[in-house]
A and B are shown apart, each in its own frame.
Chain A
């Protein structure tokens, strides 16, 4: 029904304001409190660090390409894998998802901005300066004189290595302080998203008419409140240990490094779901639109998201089977971890059922979501393998584990983020991304992904541990590592195609119009890009697919829902 016109609120004059000088333009971005601009700032910031973290991964892979390689020094290598992990989780994963949330949550629920626009800007700048502080570690302290002062203790920073005795200098301090600062920003944004979702929904937008994207971001934000804060608390304890001589994690004075491991994973595991749930959120929007069907099992999807949220708080110690817990403890965490598989299974079946019988178009966003389904399934299956304690004893901290979580982080999250880019780029910029380049991006990236991360499973099964600087030849790891590294380069080429597509389409892309995908949620009822106030008149909603109702007045959804 794309021949029908959609009521577009706001005029194009408002969408394309007069261009001022460069300084005015810059000033506008820095002082902005508009949720859409802040969303774009978040995403741009995260994209920049995605490239930085990617370069770090490349350097790691060059080092591991062949046995007895010495391309970089061992000290540098430690810094690289620490910074790669920290960057990808805190400076890429969280900001990019909060960027999407910032841009989309208010507009999807028919609001004009977030509940607290200034808090929103404040949170973004905290996050941004947290990232800059972390990277300043390469220069600050003794950095310029020695090998650099960057954190080198692993992204999980296990005690007692982080104590003043074993980590003199300021590397651990940079890690802790930067993450405390960006953590405050994260909590601020999470509070903002919750308040927006609960208090600013437009008329008729009941909880069970909200798009699933908004539902999931509500769950994620609630989860963030109790996820990031334990890390902040533990990092405060760590700094007390390092600066005031406290003994929280100091084994010499009776303190317990075990406590740090527990505290870290009480943060660390829910964090995985904070990252992956927004990826599901993107899939929930993309898959129905390109299957031309309403999402299958909306209430089950909501229930599964909430279920994942709660369950994720009780699974942290599956990262700790090898530290020697009681068998009762082990059994509890084996079972609770497997329960997560039930909820994610519900989701996978609902996505499949949504696609089933639909008239699917494999545009680039849908391609990425389809890839996501396959890869997420495999990540889930290796996850269940690792949840079995004896299997984990064998393969803990091997490359099998690395392969598993990269399958989830890259194969699921990054794939969905790419899908989100291709899907919402026309809304944010007014121009379509190139489909040809998009298909190249997809295929090159997916081939590289499978070369790297499928092979990592095997090298892990053959016993290669994580975080090692180099290895002996003739262990059967040589060829496999070479394939992994080549795959990494192929992925890098894929990402560069993507970046080129972004830049090229921003300038040359064909004009998108308000609703290029013939979609159903409220953001497509605004011009592309939307004016700063989003909607001239507050919309009223009668069903989960308000634009469907408008486009099909004879067959609206609200006749069938409830």
Chain B
């Protein structure tokens, strides 16, 4: 070793705290979802009575909406990075609409299942695990929508600008996570479990 400090001419750059924190939150949330998924798979086909997963209709349009919202929020992220605020606002708004469509779709699906098929959370194990897993995901969509709408409101009042790109991107990680979880939920509930 020489006597010169080795870092003297190197910049000291560490990962952004927001991203590290959001990754940690995503790890924690994944653990919560894992348990609900495990419970769903564990109880799959164990019911002696009540409705079975055959009553489910695959929410294809809903899925397309939610997954494409990941694309639109990504376009919005790029836009704010380049300072194109109008483009950011438009694609942020589209993301909200797509998320809202998904949430309304889930509510409609639940209504149909309750009224048409008599599937409630206390009907049987399928009802218990289905509503808690899909409901948990819908809750996350709702939380995401609240966050998205708050940012939208700030944008409309002109309080959001290019300097917020990093924060917007950190928040968007959460939305991407909610979308990614839906892929798992959809596969387990509507493909494997049906």
Q: CB within 8 Å of B: which residues of A?
A: 115-116, 187, 190-192, 194-196, 198-201, 203-204, 221-222, 225-226, 228-230, 232-234, 236-237, 240, 244-248, 253-256, 259, 263, 266, 540, 542, 558-559, 562
Q: With A115-B21, A198-B20 given, name 16 new contacts (CB 8 A).
A: A190-B28, A195-B17, A195-B21, A221-B24, A222-B24, A222-B27, A225-B24, A229-B28, A230-B34, A237-B35, A247-B124, A254-B124, A254-B125, A255-B128, A540-B7, A559-B1
CB pair B122–A246 under 8 Å, yes or no, is yes
Which of B31, B43, B46: most chain A Cβ within 10 A? B31
Q: Does B191 contact A (CB under 8 A)?
A: no
B36 to chain A, nearest CB (A): 6
Contact with A248, one of B15, B16, B29, B39 (Cβ below 8 angstroms)? B39
Residues from 9 to 41 in B contacting A, C-beta threshold 8 Å: 12, 14-18, 20-21, 24-25, 27-29, 31-32, 34-36, 39
Q: Which of A230, A246, A254, A559 sits near B35, CB closer than 8 Å?
A: A230
Q: Are A199 and B35 in contact (CB under 8 A)?
A: no
Asked if B121 CB lies within 8 Å of chain A CBs, one says: yes
In the assembled complex, how far is the CB of residue A296 from the closest CB belonging to chain B, in whole angstroms?
A: 21
Would B21 and A245 count as touching, CB distance under 8 A? no
Closest chain-B Cβ to A33's Cβ sits at a distance in Å of: 15
Question: Cα distance A247–B24 when bound, in Å?
Answer: 31
| With A195-B17, A198-B20, A229-B31: A248-B128 Cβ-Cβ less than 8 Å | yes
Judge if B149 is at the interface, Cβ distance under 8 Å. no
Nearest CB in chain B to that of A227: its residue: B31
* Cα A327 to Cα B92 with chains together (Å): 55
Query: Would you give the shortest CB distance from A449 to chain B, in whole angstroms?
Result: 35
Complex alpha-carbon distance, A533 and B122, angstroms: 55
B122's contact among A203, A247, A542, by CB below 8 Å, is which?
A247
Within 8 Å by CB of B14, from A198, A221, A559, lies: A198
Judged by DSSP, the binding face of B is helix
B interface residues, tally (CB under 8 Å)? 37
Which A-chain residue is minimally distant from B16 (CB atoms)?
A199
Determine if B158 is an interface residue (Cβ-Cβ < 8 Å): no
The residues of B that contact A255 with a CB separation of less than 8 Å are 43, 125, 128
Q: Report if B47 contacts A (CB, 8 A).
A: yes
Write 17 A-B pairs (CB below 8 A) sorted by A numbering.
A115-B17, A115-B21, A187-B25, A194-B21, A198-B17, A222-B24, A222-B27, A233-B31, A236-B132, A237-B35, A245-B122, A246-B127, A246-B128, A248-B128, A248-B129, A254-B43, A259-B42
Bound CA–CA A226/B20 (angstroms): 16
Q: How far is the CB of B176 from chain A (nearest CB, A)?
A: 18
Give the distance in Å from the alpha carbon of A192 to the alpha carbon of B17 in the complex: 9
Q: What chain A residues lie within 8 Å of B27 (beta carbons)?
A: 222, 225-226
**Complex contact B17–A199 (CB within 8 A):** yes
**In the bound complex, how far is the Cα of B17 from the Cα of A369, in angstroms?**
34
A237 CA to B32 CA, complexed, in Å: 11
With both chains docked as a complex, state the minimum distance between the C-beta of A227 and any C-beta of chain B, in angstroms: 8
Is the CB of B163 closer than 8 A to any CB of chain A?
A: no
- B115-134 to A contact mask, C-beta < 8 Å, 1/0: 00000011011011101100
- If A199-B17, A237-B132, A247-B122 touch, whether A225 touches B31 (CB-CB below 8 Å) is yes
Q: Is the CB–CB distance between A195 and B31 below 8 Å?
A: no
Chain B nearest CB from A172 CB (Å) reads 18
Contacts of A196 in B (CB 8 A): 17
B171 to chain A, nearest CB (A): 15
Known: A194-B21, A204-B5. A199 touches B29 (CB 8 A): no
Q: For the complex, is B54 an interface residue (Cβ under 8 Å from A)?
A: no
CA–CA, A542 to B16, complex, Å? 23
Write out the residue numbers on chain A whose beta carbons fall within 8 Å of the beta carbon of B5.
204, 540, 542
Residues of A within 8 A of B7 (CB): 203-204, 540
List B contacts of A190 (CB < 8 A). 24, 28
Q: Which residues of A contact B17 (CB under 8 A)?
A: 115-116, 195-196, 198-200
Residue pair A245, B35 in contact (C-beta under 8 Å): no
Contacting A at CB under 8 A, from B88-143, are 121-122, 124-125, 127-129, 131-132
A198: chain B residues within 8 A (beta carbon): 14-15, 17, 20
Contact of A204 among B12, B15, B35, B132 (CB under 8 A): B12
How many angstroms from the CA of A225 to the CA of B132 in the assembled complex? 21
B49 shortest CB reach to chain A, Å: 9
Q: How far is the CA of A246 from the CA of B129 in the complex (A)?
A: 8
Contact of B124 among A222, A228, A253 (CB under 8 A): A253
Chain B, range 41-95, C-beta contacts under 8 Å to A? 42-43, 46-48
**Cβ B21 vs Cβ A191 within 8 A:** yes
B28 and A191 within 8 A (CB): yes
**A229 with B21: in contact, given A198-B15, A248-B39, A248-B128 (CB under 8 Å)?**
no
User: B138 CB to closest chain A CB, in angstroms?
Assistant: 14
Chain A residues whose CB sits within 8 angstroms of the CB of B34 once the complex forms: 230
Select one of A195, A200, A245, A558 contacting B1, CB under 8 A: A558
Is B35 touching A233 in the complex (CB atoms < 8 A)? yes
Chain A residues with Cβ under 8 A from B15's Cβ?
198-199
Give the distance to chain A from B119, nearest Cβ to Cβ, in Å.
13
How many angstroms from the CA of A187 to the CA of B30 in the assembled complex? 13
Residues B125 and A192 in contact, CB atoms below 8 Å apart: no
- Is B12 touching A203 in the complex (CB atoms < 8 A)? yes
- The answer to whether A253 and B12 have CB atoms under 8 Å apart is no
Residues of chain A with a CB closer than 8 A to B129's CB: 248
- B167 CB, nearest partner CB in chain A, Å: 13
Instruction: Report the minimal beta-carbon distance from A210 to chain B, rounded to whole angstroms.
Output: 12
| Residue on A nearest B26 in the bound complex, by CB | A225
Q: How far is the CA of A196 from the CA of B24 in the complex (A)?
A: 12
- A244 near B122 with CB under 8 A, answer yes
Of all chain B residues, which has the CB nearest A245? B122
- The reply to whether B39 and A199 form a contact with Cβ atoms under 8 Å apart is no
Contact between A246 and B24, CB atoms less than 8 A apart:
no
| In the bound complex, CA of A195 to CA of B5 (Å) | 26
Across-interface contacts of B31 in A (CB, < 8 A):
225-226, 229-230, 233
Quick check: B35 and A234 within 8 Å, CB to CB?
yes
**In the complex, A259→B42 CA distance in Å?**
9
Interface centre among A116, A195, A232 (most CB of B within 10 A): A195
Alpha-carbon distance A400/B1, docked complex (angstroms): 54
Which of the residues B14, B48, B124 comes within 8 Å of A199, measured between beta carbons? Answer: B14
**Whole-angstrom distance between the Cβ of A248 and the nearest chain B Cβ:** 6
B42 to chain A: which residues have CB within 8 Å?
Answer: 256, 259
**Roughly how many angstroms separate A51 CA and B32 CA in the complex, as a whole number?**
33
- Chain A minimum-CB-distance residue to B3: A559
**Alpha-carbon gap, A417 to B121, bound state (A):** 46
Rounded to whole angstroms, the CA-CA distance of A228 and B122 in the bound complex is: 27
With a cutoff of 8 Å between Cβ atoms, the chain B residues found around residue A263 in the complex are: 35
Determine whether the beta carbon of B12 is less than 8 Å from that of A232: no
A240-B21 in contact (CB<8A): no
6 nearest A-B residue pairs (beta carbon):
A245-B122, A199-B17, A233-B35, A229-B31, A246-B128, A115-B17
